[in-house]
């Protein structure tokens, strides 16, 4: 049974239909890379999976459970799904440790006493242990993004969603974040990620999904999608990403 | 002209101290109640219920566009005709609470609006409750953003407690008028209470400054 099963998903903002019947399957352990032009609906798809947007048609099932923005148990569901955004969205008034342990403590996953240890474990995974007492504002973008990932890991999610997590970073900081994601992939984390890093999608993803105008235009293995694109739209997109 | 002479005021020391204490009590009670009122109104405004919004907006406009002295008169002299009879001090607290609460509502609203949606979403995505998002994610940064205006508004409230003297609440300004009428030392009396008001304001500003330094220690980009 697939971990994520999306069928015929439709989403509109007022009159603007942004997702026009999207179907996508994510197996446990899959690394799905969503690629496509800006405005093609990639972020919206991730937001729907996390119950941040109300949808107008189709279904999303995660772990055999129907997901919607209004469902009962949305909170418990979100505790099992991590999402990382382009802009990090760390809480500026909490130090790194507090950012990481806030949700585990508030949801009763760990006691206050165990929290420090959990923070240390999660920060070690993203190479940020030595910054455990720092304020977010004192960190570089790459470091903030790694803390944001650790904040998700602290909830021990079954599924991680990444929305262009390296797009706001200076080029020299992209690598450190991608490396963390690669580690997670190697550990078997199921991940759906929107990315403009084509080499990452090519090397790490188990499936690449090309979105175009609110539809899944083409999908397949990295070899198939990048090596043998079937549509002119994908071909144009791929050539536009080589500089 | 006669010389300045503060000596006749000395025997009214106790009255002045009483006046100061009453002024402080007014400011603290109306300050605390107004803060809660403003917070509740601001949160209710955010929920987007038409009728509630209309009521709160009318309340704010009413308070902000009429003289405080009229507000306090209405509560003291007009409310008894509809059966609400309050002694001067209590009537003053109610009037000042309504006055302060209206401004606090606007200030808190701007504070809530100053927190980016993305911060709230980041909180919700962690699977914590709406209340937890408010308490842990929104409240402190919002408070920091409005701290200067909120504390200034409290200073205005502190000075504004003097309107309570119009309904014979025996706060500092009322005491001054009383002592003036007994001693005919207007200059000295009003010089003295001006100095007292200034000292109180300075003391509060220092306290607010120190508290702000302690409570809001995280570095900010802007
Ligand atoms: N909250 C919103 N309100 C209105 N339109 C939106 C909103 N979010 C996204 N859109 C629109 O939906 C389309 C898809 O956006 P998005 O999912 O962010 O695309 P992508 O992530 O692929 O760049 C765009 O045209 C965008 O302007
Ligand atoms: Mg996007």
Q: Is the pLDDT of residue A101 over 90?
A: yes
pLDDT at B2: 64
Using alpha carbons, select from B19, B24, B58 the residue that is nearest to residue B200. B24
ipTM of the complex: 0.93
Q: How many CB atoms lie within 10 A of CB B87?
A: 11
Segment A110-136 shows an average pLDDT of 96
Residues of chain A above pLDDT 90, percent: 98
How far does Cα A206 stand from its chain's mean position? Answer: 15
Mean pLDDT confidence for A26-51: 97
Q: What is the pTM of this model?
A: 0.91
Which DSSP state fits A162? E
Q: Work out the mean pLDDT of chain A and round it to a whole number.
A: 96
Instruction: State the sign of the Cα–Cα–Cα–Cα dihedral A60, A62, A66, A72.
Output: negative
In this prediction, residue A241 has a pLDDT band, given cuts at 50, 70 and 90, of confident
pLDDT in tens, chain B (222 residues): 567 888 888 899 999 999 999 999 999 999 999 999 999 999 999 888 999 999 999 999 999 999 999 999 999 999 999 999 999 999 999 999 999 999 999 999 999 999 999 999 999 999 999 999 999 999 999 999 999 999 999 999 999 999 999 999 999 999 999 999 999 999 999 999 999 999 999 999 999 999 999 999 999 876
Does the pLDDT value for residue A152 go beyond 80?
yes
Residue A243 has pLDDT above 70, yes or no: no
Residue B163's pLDDT is what? 97
pLDDT band at A160 (very low <50, low <70, confident <90, very high): very high
What residues does each domain of chain A span?
A: 4-80+158-241, 91-157
Beta carbons of A40 and A213 less than 8 angstroms apart: yes
The predicted-structure confidence for A61-71, as pLDDT tens digits, reads as follows: 999 899 999 99
d(CA A191, CA B168): 71
Phi, psi angles (nearest 5°) of residue B92: -65, -45
Return residues 124-183 of B near A (CB < 8 Å).
Answer: 124-129, 132, 136-137, 140-141, 144
Q: How confident is the model at residue A179 (pLDDT cuts 50, 70, 90)?
A: very high
d(CA B195, CA A111): 53
Residue B17: predicted pLDDT: 97
Q: What CATH number has the domain spanning A4-80+158-241?
A: 3.40.50.300
Assigned CATH for B9-215: 1.10.3720.10
Task: Search chain B and give the residue with CA nearest A95.
Answer: B218
Return the pLDDT at B5.
87
B188: enclosing H helix or E strand: helix B186-215
Give helix then strand counts, H and E, for chain A: 9, 10
* Number of Cβ within a 10 Å radius of residue A23: 14
Q: Is residue A193 scored above 80 in pLDDT?
A: yes
Is A78 in contact with B126 (Cβ distance < 8 A)?
A: yes
Residue in B137, B216, B219 nearest the CB of A91: B137
Give the phi and the psi of residue A118 in degrees, each rounded to 5: -60, -45
Interior CA angle at B7 toward B196 and B172, to 5°?
30
In the reported structure, the alpha carbon of residue A12 is separated from the centroid of ligand 1 by a whole-number distance in angstroms of 9
Hey, is A112 helix, strand or coil? helix
% of chain A surpassing 70 pLDDT: 100
Question: What burial class does residue B8 get, using C-beta atoms within 10 Å of its C-beta: 0-12 exposed, 13-18 middle, 19+ buried?
Answer: middle
Q: pLDDT at position B112, please?
A: 96
pLDDT given at position A55: 96
- Find the angle CA(B112)-CA(B24)-CA(B103) to the nearest 5 degrees: 25
Q: Where are the alpha helices (DSSP H) in B3-138?
A: 13-45, 50-64, 68-73, 88-113, 117-125, 130-132
The count of other CB atoms within 10 Å of the CB of residue B219 is: 10
A22-37 mean pLDDT: 97
Give the closest-approach CA distance of B220 to chain A in angstroms: 6
Kindly provide the b/e burial profile for residues B116-153, where b requires at least 16 CB atoms within 10 angstroms of the residue's own CB. Answer: eeebbbbbbbbbbeeebbbebbbbbbbbbbbbebbbeb
Which ligand 1 atom sits closest to the C-alpha of A38?
23
Q: Which pLDDT does position B7 carry in this prediction?
A: 87
Least CB–CB distance from A93: residue in B128, B140, B221: B140
Q: How confident is the model at residue A1 (pLDDT cuts 50, 70, 90)?
A: confident
**A93 closest CB neighbour out of B122, B124, B218:** B218
């Amino acid at each position: 049974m697939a971990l994520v099963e999306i069928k015929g998903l439709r989403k509109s903002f007022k009159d603007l239909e942004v997702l026009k019947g999207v179907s996508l399957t994510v197996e446990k352990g899959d690394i799905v890379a969503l690629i496509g032009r800006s405005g093609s609906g990639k972020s919206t798809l991730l937001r729907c999976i996390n119950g941040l947007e109300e949808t107008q048609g189709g279904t999303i099932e995660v772990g055999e459970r129907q997901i919607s923005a209004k469902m009962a148990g949305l909170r418990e569901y979100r505790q099992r799904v991590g999402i990382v955004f382009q802009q990090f969205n760390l809480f500026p008034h909490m130090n790194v440790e507090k950012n990481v342990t806030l949700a585990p403590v508030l949801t009763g996953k760990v006691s206050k006493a165990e929290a420090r240890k959990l923070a240390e474990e999660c920060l070690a995974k993203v190479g940020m242990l030595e910054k455990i007492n720092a304020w977010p504002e004192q960190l570089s973008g790459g470091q903030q993004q790694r803390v944001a990932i650790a904040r998700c890991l602290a909830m021990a999610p079954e599924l991680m969603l990444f929305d262009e997590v390296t797009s706001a970073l200076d080029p020299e900081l992209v690598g450190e974040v991608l490396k963390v994601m690669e580690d997670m992939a190697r550990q078997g984390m199921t991940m759906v990620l929107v990315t403009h890093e084509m080499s990452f999608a090519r090397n790490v993803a188990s499936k690449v999904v090309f979105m175009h105008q609110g539809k899944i235009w083409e999908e397949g293995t990295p070899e198939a999608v990048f090596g043998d694109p079937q549509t002119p739209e994908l071909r144009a997109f791929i050539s536009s990403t080589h500089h | 002209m006669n010389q300045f002479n503060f000596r006749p005021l000395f025997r009214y020391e106790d009255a002045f101290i009483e006046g100061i204490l009453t002024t402080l009590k007014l400011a603290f009670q109306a300050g605390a109640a107004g803060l809660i009122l403003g917070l509740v109104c601001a949160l209710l405004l955010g929920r987007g219920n038409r009728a509630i919004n209309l009521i709160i907006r009318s309340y704010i406009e009413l308070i902000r566009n009429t003289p405080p002295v009229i507000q306090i008169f209405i509560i003291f002299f007009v409310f008894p005709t509809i059966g609400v009879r309050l002694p001067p001090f209590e009537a003053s607290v109610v009037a000042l609470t309504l006055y302060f609460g209206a401004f606090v509502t606007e200030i808190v609203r701007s504070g809530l609006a100053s927190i980016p949606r993305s911060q709230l979403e980041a909180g919700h995505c962690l699977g914590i409750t709406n209340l937890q998002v408010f308490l842990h994610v929104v409240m402190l940064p919002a408070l920091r953003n409005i701290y200067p205006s909120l504390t200034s508004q409290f200073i205005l409230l502190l000075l504004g407690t003097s309107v309570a003297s119009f309904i014979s609440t025996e706060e500092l300004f009322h005491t001054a008028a009383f002592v003036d009428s007994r001693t005919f030392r207007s200059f000295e009396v009003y010089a003295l209470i001006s100095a007292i008001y200034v000292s109180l304001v300075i003391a509060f500003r220092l306290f607010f400054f120190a508290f702000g330094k302690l409570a809001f220690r995280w570095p900010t980009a802007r």
